[in-house]
Amino acid sequence: MVKFAIVGMGHIAKKHIEAIENTEGAVLAAVCDTNPERLTGLPAEVKTYTDLETMLKENEDIAVVNICVPSGLHAKLTNIVANHKRHIIVEKPMALKVEDAEEMIRVAKENGVKLAVVHPNRFRPAIQKLKQKMEEGAFGKLSHANATVRWNRNQAYYDQASWRGTKEFDGGVLMNQAIHDLDLMLWLMGPVESVQAMVTTRLRNIETEDVAAAVVQFKNGALGVIEAATTIYPKNLEESIAIFGEKASVKISGRTANFIETWDIEGVTEEEKAQVIAEINNDPFGKPGHQCIVEDMIQAIREDREPIVTGEDGLAPVKLILAILESAETGRKVTLS
């Protein structure tokens, strides 16, 4: 059995607990949170701690630590865990600064531990089908892509905790909500060359943006359009990713991007198209992405390979988001290094 621990027992920790419980060969051995009130209601065999260092020192058999604290603390805690020679699964965004993310990658490599970043949307059945078609070259020359997040996060959401919506610990709609879709865009389209953007804070009383719009140019010459907002009334409206090429047009959408809205690919018959859509509609959510990441970490340890979603993968959307924010602040096109 591979023993896991979780640090940070807020809302997202529930998904990590379920992922570990549902993964063969994984067991939750300990949890840690500075607030002891969050350490109740757990099975008796799960040890509880309010100090991360103490948990690591007293449990040398813990192999993997899942980091679920506010985003601004990811880098600090990742480095502590890595220096204790434990593997790491860190929630998105992996960090709020490029230099912090780069340090996390460096410290993990120096200590010989594996670092995985939680980008679970990659494992959605419809997204997997789209990725497969792109790898087969079904799109031909790529034209452009579109990533849209039209969601509602009302003021009560941000008022749940003092760190929400702050620049130091949380980030805005790009870092907190749209980062999953930017990860998908980069995973599908490749790296970005440059970006021009505008962001604003229209409706929520927060430090960061609640609406963002950007146009990017990928290194392959294709363009991309990004729209993200938490201001949609009265509830989540749409999350979508669309890819367009000379031989194909595909859009994955819905309130969350789990359903095929458009699947027009050269050489794919209407019958084949209907079969794909029916297959997705029969199981649009598939195995939870957090569970896929936990399972992959166990296999990565056993096979001594990199996780599917690496630290470098986690760094890429952080770089893009910070370039978007820089472009919005300066009013200029920003070229990514």
**pLDDT at residue 223, rounded to an integer:** 98
- What is the rounded average pLDDT of the residues 31-38? 97
The string of DSSP codes covering 91-155 is PSSS-SSHHHHHHHHHHHHHTT--EEE--GGGGSHHHHHHHHHHHTTTT-SEEEEEEEEE-B--H
* Phi-psi domain of 155 (left: phi exceeds 0; alpha: psi -120 through 50; beta: other): alpha
Contact between 320 and 187 under an 8 Å Cβ cutoff? The reply is no
What is the model's pLDDT at position 189? 98
**How confident is the model at residue 24, as a pLDDT?**
97
Tell me which residue has tokens 């120096």: 110
Phi-psi group of 125: left, alpha or beta (phi > 0 → left; psi -120 to 50 → alpha; rest → beta): alpha
Nearest CA among 47, 57, 53 for reference residue 27 = 47
Mean pLDDT computed over 46-68: 98
Across 293-314, average pLDDT = 98
Q: Which of 194, 190, 192 is nearest to 335 (CA)?
A: 194
Q: What pLDDT was estimated at residue 262? A: 98
* Burial class of residue 214 (count of CB atoms within 10 Å of its CB; 0-12, 13-18, 19+): buried
* Residue 309 contacts residue 290 (beta carbons within 8 Å): no
β pairing state of 223-229 and 26-32: unpaired
219 pLDDT more than 90: yes
Phi-psi region of 99 (alpha: psi -120 to 50; beta: other; left: phi over 0): alpha
- Per-residue pLDDT at 337: 80
What percentage of the chain has pLDDT greater than the value 90?
100
Average pLDDT over residues 17-31: 98
What domains are defined for the chain?
2-120+290-307 (3.40.50.720), 121-287+318-335 (3.30.360.10)
